[in-house]
Amino acid sequence: MIFSTFLNGLTIAGYLFIMAIGLNLSFGLLRIVNMSHGTFYLFGGFVGWNVLKVTGNWFLGLLAAGISMGVLSFFEEFFLLRRARGKTTMETLITLSFSVICADLAIWIWGGFPRQIKIPKILMGQFSIGSINFPKYNLFIILFAAVIGITFWLILKKTKIGMIIRAGVDNFEIVSTLGINVGRLFTWVFAVSGFMAGLAGMIGGTFQMISPGEDSKVMIYTLLIVILGGMGSFGGAIVGALIIGMIFTFGSVFAPQFALFFMFAPVAIVLVFRPQGLFGRRPAK
């Protein structure tokens, strides 16, 4: 019972991490709360569902979900957010307004009914771990999140662009004085953030379902991860996703009436004693 719940917690943590790593990068670098991130999740799931319905190829739907949301987030940053650069309140209101508009647009296009995305045949079925049966698709989510985590780690730690992003998280004013086009960097990081949200929408919509209102719920979980782990921290996104995923899963099984309390309590405690999060750094002055 406990081991199977633990595996389910890893699954939840996996797809939340895919969602959170993108938001954490844009949040850490751009210093704005991107409230449209959850809408990218919702839109990505619906786009992936449409592509799967037309082509019958789940993996093509996954790619389409990521690319389409990457393009949408690119245009949001380039045409809207860039004009309000440095005005935190205005930036947040822009992303919130964009989120509301896109959420209503999703209802207009796809209706208010939930959609269940079919698991690809190659990932159907279960395998056994001792006496425990575990779905293959759940294992795919865990492994996919691990691959995404390793890929981002290599990019952030071993490449020049990763060094620039990490420097920008710590102090983007100094980075801009070094002749680096910070505006272009912001745009591409924001596009990658949307790309990851689109992937998470397709993966989450297959794991559960995709429906209007799901964007708000997932957005709350993602913000909890970012706040708990620390703004702009890669390790914080991993630890935060694991903590939230495990609390959500074990709380839902053993104490469902206190599940939300258990999720928000650690975040409140961390904010009191370490406002920058478990692994976040205080902004440079």
What is the residue extent of each domain of the chain? 2-112+129-211
- Tell me the per-residue pLDDT of 118-144, one tens digit each, with 9 for 90 and over: 999 999 999 887 777 889 999 999 999
3-state secondary structure of 221: helix
What integer pLDDT is reported at residue 169 of this predicted model? 64
Q: What does the block give as tokens for 247? A: 């609390």
What integer pLDDT is reported at residue 170 of this predicted model? 65
Q: How far is CA 98 from CA 21, 36, 251, 279, in A?
A: 21, 6, 33, 30
Q: Residue type at 285?
A: K
What integer pLDDT is reported at residue 191 of this predicted model? 94
Q: Residue type at 160?
A: K
Residues 6 or more apart in contact with residue 198 via CB below 8 angstroms = 40, 41, 43, 44, 47, 48, 65, 66, 67, 68, 69, 70
What integer pLDDT is reported at residue 63 of this predicted model? 97
What integer pLDDT is reported at residue 283 of this predicted model? 54
What integer pLDDT is reported at residue 282 of this predicted model? 63
- Tell me the per-residue pLDDT of 201-233, one tens digit each, with 9 for 90 and over: 999 999 988 998 888 888 999 989 988 988 778
What integer pLDDT is reported at residue 139 of this predicted model? 93
Report how far residue 144's alpha carbon sits from residue 147's, in angstroms, rounded to the nearest whole number: 5
Question: Is the full-model pTM beyond 0.85?
Answer: yes
Q: Give pLDDT < 70 ranges for the chain.
A: 28-30, 169-173, 281-285
Report how far residue 118's alpha carbon sits from residue 53's, in angstroms, rounded to the nearest whole number: 9
